[in-house]
Amino acid sequence: MKLTFMQVDAFTSKPFSGNPAAVCILPAAREERWMQQVAAEMNLSETAFLVRREDGFNLRWFTPTVEVALCGHATLASAHALWETGHLSPHEAARFHTRSGWLTALRQEDWIQMDFPATAATPAVAPAGLIEALGLTPLFVGQSKFDYLIEVESEEQVRRLRPEFHRLRQLPVRGVIVTSRAQSGDCDFVSRFFAPGSGVDEDPVTGSAHCCLGPFWSARLDKTDLIARQVSARGGLLKVAVRGERVLLSGQAITVLRGELLA
């Protein structure tokens, strides 16, 4: 049975930048093992699987090795795919039932705004090996529901970071966020995200990490509307609006590939 899939670059308006995600819109639910095999075959940081339901779509996300509870860029890519393929009209909201509850996305001209739960970090003691694996001196160490959050002194430190992935892979956590204030005037803060234990050494642009970064930088900069840049090799730009227990994440997306699954 042939199934159409799309590859979408998320959190960017230019092809071959941002974070690529595969999106599969399924006519009916498939078994978890098959979805994991497809995600491994795609070998992207996330592959999203959608199944229509009466009040929206069921949405699940898989890295090449595990299913995850929350993914921003593949949600953005999924909403983009639903509008582009006509599964939703341009002015219709995308509604997703996920392991993190109901998530919604709205089109705002060339941008897509997603409504996500905030996952604020609280101060924490770094687990053994974390700081050594990163090779840096932190200003702050915190832990959110999913990740460790490390603040460093400068954007240059974030950009030059070369972690020891084999050591990070041993930590009992989804990922590690490293962040600093931005040095340029076009954004408020920068970050990078590492998740070797989840099958992704470095994620190019991580929407879900900004559910933690938003509250963190909102408190430090005393502002609720922020511009963020993830400074991976591919890079990406996000608008982050903190609204109490929710974070509104906005980004752009572009389709770079369409194909058919034959298995």
pLDDT, tens digit (0-9, with 9 covering 90-100), for 204-214: 999 999 999 99
Q: Tell me the CA distances in angstroms from 8 to 48, 91, 197, 207, 257, one per residue in order.
A: 11, 20, 24, 14, 7
Looking at residue 15, its pLDDT comes to: 97
Q: Fill in the DSSP letter of residue 112.
A: E
Catalytic pick among 31, 32, 41, 46: 46
49, 53, 66, 113 from 33: Cα distances, Å: 13, 21, 10, 31
pTM score of the predicted model: 0.93
pLDDT score of 187 more than 80: yes
Tokens read off for 193: 């995200």
Read off the pLDDT of each residue in 79-108 and give the average, rounded to a whole number: 96
What is the per-residue pLDDT for 1?
66
Active site residue 153: no
